[in-house]
Amino acid sequence: MTPADQARPSSRPDVMELPAPTAWPMVLALGITLVCSGLVTNAVVSVVGFVLALAGGVGWWRQVLPVEQVEHIPLRPLPGRAKPIVPSGAGVERITIGAGGHRARIPVEVQPLSAGLKGGIVGGVAMAVVALLYGVLFERSLWYPINLLSAAAMPSMAQADTATLRAFSGPALLIGIVAHGAISVLAGLLYAVILPMLPSRHMLWGGLVAPLLWTGFLWALLGVINPALNARVDWTWFIASQIAFGLATGVVVSRAQPVPTMQTASPAGPPPRAGTPR
């Protein structure tokens, strides 16, 4: 079929006319991309992009003007086509939360964010106790784990010797407290959001699985961005501190009173309280 035949309108009832496929829009898009890329690379890239954009624009223009080129798609015979949709006059049964067949969004109840905040604080204290215990028992210094934590933001601590890491440092103490507190609170809020969406055995997920996944990610990342600091971390005790955080935070979050989600709300009032009949 010639382009003239493709462009000629068709009145046959057994075919459907669709715009003919063309690659010119992609050529035009590539040209515009190269024009913009040349602004931060080289003027030659912009020149090539302009030529491609111009060719794509002209080719696309000729594809639709003066007469749009179309493609004829044969249709199935009338007996083989889908039957027209007939509207139904049947009524719709309204069901409520908890009724059989109700498609509720999971979870129906979630832990309050205040539980995540409290859990993060409690978990941060538990993790700090384990880390300080390691410093006293193995490094004979209460300040060693604090200085090692601050090394992520203080390059001088990352390159310091063991004697310096065992000594007291005011800036390192301040940075360590702020960083540890902020990370603990954020992780606690994350626990409050994620734990209700996981299967049962929340303590397994929050106390073991999540700490192991986080430790593996941090070990791989730290080994690339700061190998010197990675070599100083005792990963056995690090895992123990993470598990202590996960268990403490998981206990606080799981024991909190759940809050119903907005899907349980009624137009006549607020969502029912957890544990009350709906």
Give the DSSP letter string of the chain.
--HHHHHS----TTEEEEEPP-SHHHHHHHHHHHHHHTTTS-HHHHHHHHHHHHHHHHHHHHHHSSS--EEEEEPPPGGGSPPPPPPP--------TTSTT--PPSPSEE--HHHHHHHHHHHHHHHHHHHHHHHHHHSS-SSHHHHHHHTTT-HHHHT--HHHHHS--HHHHHHHHHHHHHHHHHHHHHHHHHGGGS-S-HHHIIIIIHHHHHHHHHHHHHHHH-HHHHHH--HHHHHHHHHHHHHHHHHHHHTSPPEE-GGG-BTTBSPPPTTS--
Average pLDDT in the 73-102 region? 70
- What pLDDT is recorded for position 41? 83
Q: What is the DSSP letter of 40?
A: T
Tokens of 48: 């090539």
Percent of the chain whose pLDDT exceeds 70: 80
Interatomic CA distance for residues 147 and 152, integer angstroms: 9
Interatomic CA distance for residues 131 and 23, integer angstroms: 62
- pLDDT-derived band at 129 (thresholds 50, 70, 90) equals very high
Instruction: Enter the CATH code of domain 3-75.
Output: 1.10.287
H or E element that contains 73: strand 70-74
195 close to 256: Cβ distance less than 8 angstroms: no
Which has the closest alpha carbon to 123: 186, 174, 178? 186
What are the pLDDT digits (tens) for 139-174? 888 888 888 888 877 878 877 888 888 888 888 889
Residue 4: is its pLDDT beyond 50? no
Residue 7: is its pLDDT beyond 50? no
Please list the residue range(s) of the chain that carry CATH number 1.10.287. 3-75
Q: According to the per-residue pLDDT averaged within each range, which of 78-87, 131-140, 216-225 is highest? A: 131-140
Tokens of 77: 């015979």
Paired strand residues for 150:
none
Which has the closest alpha carbon to 229: 153, 115, 173? 153
- pLDDT-derived band at 32 (thresholds 50, 70, 90) equals very high
The angle, 0 to 180 degrees and rounded to 10, between the axes of the packed helices 235-254 and 170-194 is 50
Interatomic CA distance for residues 106 and 96, integer angstroms: 15
What are the pLDDT digits (tens) for 196-246? 777 666 677 777 788 888 888 878 777 776 676 777 888 888 888 888 888
